[in-house]
A and B are shown apart, each in its own frame.
Chain A
Amino acid sequence: AQRVTQPEKLLSVFKGAPVELKCNYSYSGSPELFWYVQYSRQRLQLLLRHISRESIKGFTADLNKGETSFHLKKPFAQEEDSAMYYCALKTSGSRLTFGEGTQLTVNP
């Protein structure tokens, strides 16, 4: 069965420091992975998808099939990055399975 694991529920860094939000998945098929962000009391927004290999708001994520990981990284965190981040795995029937989320706090 498909599963997404985000080992850190809470992550706190200082402004300007590098940040890495971990995501591991288990899925027998070919994975499609996404990162979603939810700012305080707002809707979830798509941040990144592994297919496009893009960088959004300075964030990047690389799919590592050997380690079954899709960690989200940013070299210099900003205060406005404080939010809840969800890693998600798309499987059959367009179903998105979400990880439990990591609450990122960037301190001044």
Chain B
Amino acid sequence: DTAVSQTPKYLVTQMGNDKSIKCEQNLGHDTMYWYKQDSKKFLKIMFSYNNKELIINETVPNRFSPKSPDKAHLNLHINSLELGDSAVYFCASSRQLNYGYTFGSGTRLTVV
């Protein structure tokens, strides 16, 4: 009964490939997020969706495109992967008037 689940947990791929990371939450939350944690453990928001609508779109390359088919899912598609995309990507969700986020377990992406 995992609250926020991400797949895959690990992803190793070559430069130039296109890959997707999936996220699902069963908490009934309205808002979902993608965060990137770099090698220095710094966490930075990438995107946020509220009820399938994009509300936060930070300065990330156009190669990153989020998709929210419904409010329980927020997927992240990455085109033409680069070495610098290697990081841990965390999905999270929250209520609109939230007490905090619930995070997924992360997807460790390694681009070789």
Pairing of A with B: yes
Q: Which residues of A contact B (CB under 8 A)?
A: 34, 36, 38, 42-46, 49, 51-52, 84, 86, 90, 93-98, 100-101, 103
Measured CA separation A39–B18 after assembly (Å): 30
A101:B43 contact, CB within 8 angstroms: yes
Of B62-70, B74-82, B101-109, the stretch lying at the interface with chain A is B101-109
Q: Is the interface of B mostly helix, strand, loop or mixed?
A: strand
> Ordered nearest first, which 8 A-B pairs have the shortest CB separation?
A46-B100, A98-B43, A44-B103, A43-B105, A43-B103, A101-B41, A93-B55, A34-B100
Query: What would be 6 A-B contacts, judged by CB atoms less than 8 Å apart?
Result: A36-B100, A46-B102, A93-B48, A94-B31, A95-B56, A96-B101
Partner of A42, one of B96, B100, B105: B105
Give min CB distance, B65 to chain A, whole Å: 20
The number of inter-chain residue pairs (CB within 8 angstroms) is 54
Task: Please tell me the number of chain B residues within 8 Å of chain A, measured between CB atoms.
Answer: 25
Q: What B residues does A36 contact at CB under 8 A? A: 100
Partner of A43, one of B40, B45, B96, B104: B104
A49-B99, A49-B100, A101-B42 are known contacts. Are A44 and B48 too (CB-CB below 8 A)? no
